[in-house]
Chain A
């Protein structure tokens, strides 16, 4: 396919960028792994479910896409992006077959994934991400377990706990890294978003009505179980997230634990393209760098949404609008966007980013948490690499994340460091003097694991070119 614009990621940012660009006359191909557009936050509910408000926003987006000329390549796994002549080439696998999209412009809107700081037992079946719990509850209508503990940081804690109750589950406890005063301190920044505030208060009221214990300034010390989760140990922590020495842990029986410590920009694609990134802990960690119109320092390339920093769905949608307008302008669309249209998005973005930044700050892991990871705790789930193995490599001289990976296999497995990168980066940063010095994993193809036979496709031995024999 050879459209004007390719868009990677069909969440609020990518799908909006595709719609806006197509509205101005560009031909657009939208590429995403999921079956329906909406990303994680506006994920489509299963047909038999009535989603909530976010499902309605997603529903409106999906209806607009269906009515638009945008070509939506769903269930497509993009595994390679490269500059080819004057165009961007995106290689993907869809339904077991290789496809190539070559476009004059590219929008990368790959969103974010969840960060979970490791603790003993976090690999047990029954332990899931907080965002993962929202997928089970809202998109599938399935309870993660009969009796759940909800733990970590940020507003997702209360969203998940309230959704569990609504679905008929039991919430044994909400375990919040933040103190009540931390939440109060975030209130002024939220004044710009009374809708979010009201939503948050409704969730808290639902928990109070069901007498769910909310343990402020507490964390998970360990998860226990044989074949799957049976109980969690919960203990008080200080402002840095460190377990208080000598404080007794309480044991809570549970068959499900939803835990999360904020979101991390999904930068595999921007790292693959060797684009610049900036470390900003308050915005989720390593963020791809863009200018005011979201252009990357590369030809006809825009970076929209959380790949450039965590900010929430409202920011992502506005950034999608900005990227769509900028692409239409730069690629000479049939109808050129008015300068005023871009200016109004800039103003709206500034306002939305303030509320988004306050929420991102509440979600962030606390800086002392990695200090408490025990030597035997697994950091890299794919390769079963423990903290002790990382410590040994760091003591022996590993100074960058790539060196740590080469020495220990941490980050070398199928998730490509998405689950372990934050903990490994923080452990290494303590030894080398900061996350900037520890660096990032180098981005390499494939962006996701893909089956080699899908890449090879159908061929015959007659198709293999045989070089002419050397002259005698």
Chain B
């Protein structure tokens, strides 16, 4: 099912990460080994992408400084991602 996807480079917490173009940011981060996306606001427990269709808000992290749902955002070259939620913004 996997074709020869082109790659783009994004930065995650300041470090460059090469990901497959055309993926959602949530899928790209998972593929790159970033299953943990942010701490939960009350207990601080680790959270990751959950519904992957824009409803649960678990993957809402900081993309170029703004809170975005990673499952709805396509990866773009140069995207700066922080693994933190709205509370850390």
Question: Using a CB–CB distance below 8 Å, which chain A residues touch chain B?
Answer: 33-35, 40, 46-50, 75, 96, 113-114, 123-129, 131-133, 135-137, 139-142, 144, 166-167, 227-228, 266, 381-384, 413-415, 418-419, 448-449, 451
Chain B residues near A136 (CB-CB < 8 A): 27, 30, 52
Whether B52 and A48, one on each chain, are in contact in the complex, defined by CB atoms closer than 8 angstroms, is no
Contact residues of B between 66 and 87, Cβ < 8 Å to A? 66-67, 71-72, 74, 86
Q: Known: A125-B48, A135-B52, A135-B71. Contact between A414 and B57, CB under 8 A?
A: yes
> Smallest CB–CB gap between A399 and chain B, Å?
25
- Min CB distance B53 to A, Å, is 6
Say how far B55's CB is from chain A's closest CB, in angstroms: 4
**Residues of chain A with a CB closer than 8 A to B4's CB:** 48
For A123, the chain B residues whose CB sits under 8 A away are: 40, 45, 47
Scoring B41, B43, B47, B52 by chain A CB atoms within 10 A of each residue's CB, the highest score goes to B52
Q: Are the CB atoms of A135 and B46 closer together than 8 Å?
A: no
Asked if B60 is at the interface (CB within 8 A of a chain A CB), the reply is: yes
16 chain-A/chain-B pairs, Cβ below 8 angstroms: A46-B22, A48-B21, A50-B1, A114-B51, A125-B36, A126-B35, A128-B52, A129-B52, A129-B53, A132-B52, A140-B27, A141-B5, A167-B2, A382-B41, A415-B56, A419-B50
Interface SS majority for chain B: loop
Binding site for A on B (CB under 8 A): 1-6, 20-24, 27-28, 30-31, 35-37, 40-43, 45-58, 60, 66-67, 71-72, 74, 86
What are the nearest 4 A-B pairs in CB distance?
A: A125-B48, A132-B52, A140-B27, A48-B5
- Give which listed residue, A48, A127, A135, A384, contacts B3 with CB less than 8 A: A48
Nearest B-chain residue to A137, judged by Cβ: B1
Q: How far is the CA of A137 from the CA of B24 in the complex (A)?
A: 12
CA distance A50 to B1 in the complex (A): 6
| Residues in B whose Cβ lies below 8 Å from that of A133 | 52
- A89 smallest CB distance to B (angstroms): 23
Bound Cα distance A123, B47 (Å): 6
Asked if residues A384 and B41 are in contact (CB atoms below 8 Å), the reply is: yes
- Shortest CB–CB separation between residue B42 and chain A, in angstroms? 4
Q: Tell me, in angstroms, the Cα distance from A449 to B49 when the chains sit together.
A: 17
| Interface pair A132/B49, CB less than 8 Å apart | yes
| Cα-based distance from A46 to B53 in the complex (angstroms) | 15
CA A39 to CA B5, docked complex, whole Å: 23
B46 contacts A40, C-beta separation under 8 Å: no
Contact call B37/A125, Cβ cutoff below 8 A: yes
Chain B residues with Cβ under 8 A from A131's Cβ? 51-53
Report B88 CB to chain A, min CB distance, Å.
14
B51 touches A419 (CB 8 A): yes
The interface residues of chain B lying within 8 Å CB-to-CB of A413 are: 57
Tell me the nearest residue of chain B to A225, going by C-beta: B46
Q: Residue of A at shortest CB range from B48?
A: A125
Contact between A48 and B20 (Cβ–Cβ < 8 Å)? yes
- Residues of chain B with a CB closer than 8 A to A47's CB: 5, 21-22
Instruction: Give B30 Cβ to nearest chain A Cβ, in Å.
Output: 6
